[in-house]
Amino acid sequence: MSEADTAPGIAARCRADGGLTEATLGELRDELGYRKLGRWVLAEIAETLRATGLGFFPPERLDAEHNTEPRQWQTVWIYVRDGGPRARVIDAVLQPDGCDVRAELSALSTESLAALTPQQRLDRIRDIVTA
């Protein structure tokens, strides 16, 4: 399943907004072609975003166990999971078991390049070159 087949509108909007955008559950529901929000629609929205290379938060907004009465005006933040600094920090907070949380968050709170890991230094150089 390609990105164009899953959520082309929200994926394009997120990228156009610099890799971070906010969307309502109603917008996401409409993009998938549903008329109502429900537990299965929430699950499909979450899966579609993941399959498209996008992440979202707060995660409980698309979890039917936590969001038992979803409303179309509720919002989620959607971000591109491209391995860039923003995605790494958000992923470190949302999924701490999969990364070096201390290293990712330390890079945020310091101006000292000495505090960065070698990978973080390379990522900064890459960000500068591609800016």
Is pLDDT above 70 for 2? Answer: no
Report the distance separating Cα 20 and Cα 86, nearest Å. Answer: 9
* C-alpha to C-alpha distance for 85 and 120, rounded to whole angstroms: 8
* pLDDT tens-digit series, residues 45-96: 999 999 999 999 999 999 999 999 999 999 999 999 998 888 888 888 888 8
**What is the structure's pLDDT at 127?**
76
Average predicted confidence (pLDDT) for the chain: 85
What is the pTM for the complete model shown?
0.76
- Please determine, for residue 22, whether its predicted confidence score (pLDDT) is greater than 80: yes
Query: What pLDDT score was predicted for residue 49?
Result: 95
Q: Where are the alpha helices (DSSP H) in the chain?
A: 3-6, 8-16, 25-31, 39-51, 85-94, 101-108, 118-130
Residue 108 pLDDT level (bands cut at 50, 70, 90): low
From 18-32, 33-47, 76-90, 94-108, the region with the lowest mean pLDDT: 94-108
- CA–CA dist 108, 104 (Å, integer): 7
Q: Where are the beta strands (DSSP E) in the chain?
A: 20-24, 54-57, 75-80
The number of C-alpha atoms within 13 Å of 11 and in the hemisphere containing its C-beta is 18
